[in-house]
């Protein structure tokens, strides 16, 4: 009897391994997935999660069905179990639009998380989204933003870039983003269980591309950071961008980590640098505005033109990180995206959303005619001035006069990182720049607190509210179509 027992007894290592459970560096979180246009019955969503090196059998059920689960290893090789990162991705397909679905994720038969989500709403239904950027670096203000985003009960999040600091690494997503935006409980100093309930759209930004090549131009350096470009491994965004993009995110470093990155990212790299999608009565075009992009490039402009002219949505929004028009001191000179404003105006873009400046800024509606585009073409330069003529709509006030003439540019980059330009708060005289002939295109600037944007819209009317870190409203404007 004693012999039989000893023959089946586990060694200490075996026993420890048998008890090992995965540590979730990212609990199951929703992503939009590759779908772009709205198609009832052909809607899809991605549920993804990440763990340390402890594997096992996962099952994801929804609507009486089992999802196919793909697993790829971001950090493997000789990494320890705790250092390894297993990325799991479940594609939920064949869904109806605007319908609520329940889902359950289990590991080795044990329930890990159950939740629900609502798929994208079709045309004709009211939608609400929140927008903010420059948000995740472990600060308590990050948590307030996550909490206020959750309290707004949005249909989805539209992040305006610099989602994690400093270098857009997978490890930074695990430390600063997932524990806050997918916390188990909601609280102003905790964060909120937001990511498990609504999809999170984002755009690539400067802190996603934090290495430098021999010319000191930004690139992803896999020698320095073997888990660089988490934007392409953690995020699953619409897959309708140009392939290849005219300006793919540059990569340098040893072959091994680059090959691992490409295996995990699949065709998301470099495609999801640019994409578009519809939600309700709105069309969103999301662009890479990093310094390696030349926005005067014809191929890029052709793709943008085809995208904006190909939608029948009532509202057209463009999202890119580096604000073409902002009055702050930190990034004022990074004006290269001004080159695209005439194209946006031609195709009826209503609002543009940005981050980069860690403040809130809303412009009056205006039209812009560039007079010299040579600065926009200086790829790699941090200062790319684009002078031009402003035609500002001063009648629009967002209360009694609500139909704008021109585009309204909203910089919502006060999502958590340290704030800029405290002295500019409520001081319109400080918002004027000589280089713009002191054009008074800016209407509202809030620099003394963190905040996020909440947008409600239907086909005829849109209301923008800016909510500060304590939940108070610091700006409100209504825009109408007819």
Provide long-range contacts, Cβ within 8 A and 24+ apart, for 14-20. Answer: 20/54, 20/81
**Residue 354 makes contact with Fe ion by CB under 5 A:** no
Shortest spacing between CB 337 and Fe ion, in angstroms: 13
Query: Which residue stretches of 190-323 are H helix?
Result: 230-234, 255-265, 268-271, 298-309
**Residue 162 makes contact with Fe ion by CB under 5 A:** yes
Angle (CA) 239 240 244, round 5°: 90
DSSP assignment string, 215-239: TS-EEEETTT-TT--HHHHH-----
Provide the 3-class DSSP secondary structure of residue 179.
helix
**Residue 357 makes contact with Fe ion by CB under 5 A:** no
Looking at the chain, how many residues does it have? 482
As beta bridge partners, residue 208 has: none
The span from the CA of 322 to the CA of 411, in Å, is 9
Give me the 276-315 binding string for Fe ion, x by CB under 5 A, dash otherwise: ----------------------------------------
How many binding residues for Fe ion (CB under 5 A)? 4
**Residue 356 makes contact with Fe ion by CB under 5 A:** yes
Provide the 3-class DSSP secondary structure of residue 385.
coil
Give me the 205-224 binding string for Fe ion, x by CB under 5 A, dash otherwise: xx------------------
Q: Give the closest residue to 179 by CA, choosing from 192, 188, 169.
A: 192
Stretch that binds Fe ion, among 80-88, 94-102, 255-263, 356-364 (CB under 5 A): 356-364
Provide the 3-class DSSP secondary structure of residue 66.
strand
Shortest spacing between CB 133 and Fe ion, in angstroms: 8
Q: Give the closest residue to 450 by CA, choosing from 363, 329, 355.
A: 355
Comparing every residue's Cβ against Fe ion, the nearest one is 356
Shortest spacing between CB 207 and Fe ion, in angstroms: 6
Shortest spacing between CB 311 and Fe ion, in angstroms: 28
Stretch that binds Fe ion, among 172-180, 284-292, 351-359, 386-394 (CB under 5 A): 351-359
Shortest spacing between CB 212 and Fe ion, in angstroms: 16
Give me the 48-87 binding string for Fe ion, x by CB under 5 A, dash otherwise: ----------------------------------------
**Residue 469 makes contact with Fe ion by CB under 5 A:** no
* Nearer Cβ to Fe ion (142/162): 162
Please say whether the beta carbons of 404 and 392 come within 8 A: no
Q: Which residues bind Fe ion (CB under 5 A)?
A: 162, 205-206, 356
């Amino acid at each position: 009897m004693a012999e039989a027992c000893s023959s089946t007894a586990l060694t200490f290592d075996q026993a420890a391994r048998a008890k090992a459970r995965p540590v979730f560096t990212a609990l199951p979180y929703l992503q939009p997935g590759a779908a772009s246009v709205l198609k009832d019955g052909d809607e899809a969503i991605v549920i993804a999660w990440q763990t340390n090196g402890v594997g096992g059998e996962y099952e994801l059920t929804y609507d009486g069905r089992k999802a196919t689960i793909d697993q790829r290893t971001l950090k493997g090789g000789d990494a320890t179990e705790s250092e390894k990162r297993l990325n799991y991705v479940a594609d939920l397909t064949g869904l109806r639009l605007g319908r609520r679905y329940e889902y359950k994720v289990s590991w080795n038969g044990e329930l890990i998380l159950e939740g629900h989500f609502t798929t994208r709403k079709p045309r004709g239904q009211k939608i609400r989204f929140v927008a903010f950027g420059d948000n995740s670096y472990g600060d308590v203000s990050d948590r307030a933003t996550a909490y206020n985003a959750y309290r707004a009960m949005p249909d989805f999040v539209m992040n305006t870039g610099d989602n994690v600091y400093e270098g857009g690494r997978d490890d930074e997503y695990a430390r600063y983003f997932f524990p806050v935006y997918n916390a188990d409980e909601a609280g102003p100093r905790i964060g909120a269980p937001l990511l498990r309930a609504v999809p999170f759209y984002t755009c690539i930004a400067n802190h996603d591309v934090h290495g430098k090549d021999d010319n000191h131009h930004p690139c992803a350096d896999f020698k320095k950071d073997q888990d660089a470009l988490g934007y392409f491994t953690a995020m699953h965004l619409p897959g309708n961008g140009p392939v290849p993009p005219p300006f793919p995110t540059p990569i340098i470093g040893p072959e091994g980590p680059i090959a691992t990155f490409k295996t995990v990212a699949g065709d998301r790299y470099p495609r999801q640098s640019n994409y578009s999608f519809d939600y309700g009565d709105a069309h969103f075009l999301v662009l890479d505005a990093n310094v390696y992009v030349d926005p005067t490039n014809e191929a890029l402009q052709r793709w943008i033109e085809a995208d904006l002219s190909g939608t029948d949505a009532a509202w057209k929004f463009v999202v890119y990180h580096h604000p073409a028009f902002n009055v702050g001191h930190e990034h004022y000179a990074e004006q290269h995206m001004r080159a695209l404003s005439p194209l946006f105006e031609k195709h009826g873009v209503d609002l543009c959303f940005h981050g980069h400046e860690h403040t809130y800024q809303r412009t009056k509606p205006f039209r812009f005619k560039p007079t010299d585009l040579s600065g926009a073409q200086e790829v790699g330069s941090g200062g790319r001035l684009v002078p031009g003529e402003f035609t500002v709509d001063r009648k629009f006030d967002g209360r009694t006069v609500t139909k704008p003439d021109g585009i309204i540019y909203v910089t919502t980059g006060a999502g958590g990182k340290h704030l800029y330009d405290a002295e500019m708060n409520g001081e319109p005289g400080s918002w004027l720049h000589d280089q713009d002939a002191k054009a008074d295109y800016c209407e509202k600037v809030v620099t003394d607190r963190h905040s996020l944007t909440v947008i409600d819209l239907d086909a005829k009317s849109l209301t923008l509210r800016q909510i500060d870190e304590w939940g108070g409203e610091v700006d409100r404007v209504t825009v109408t179509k007819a």
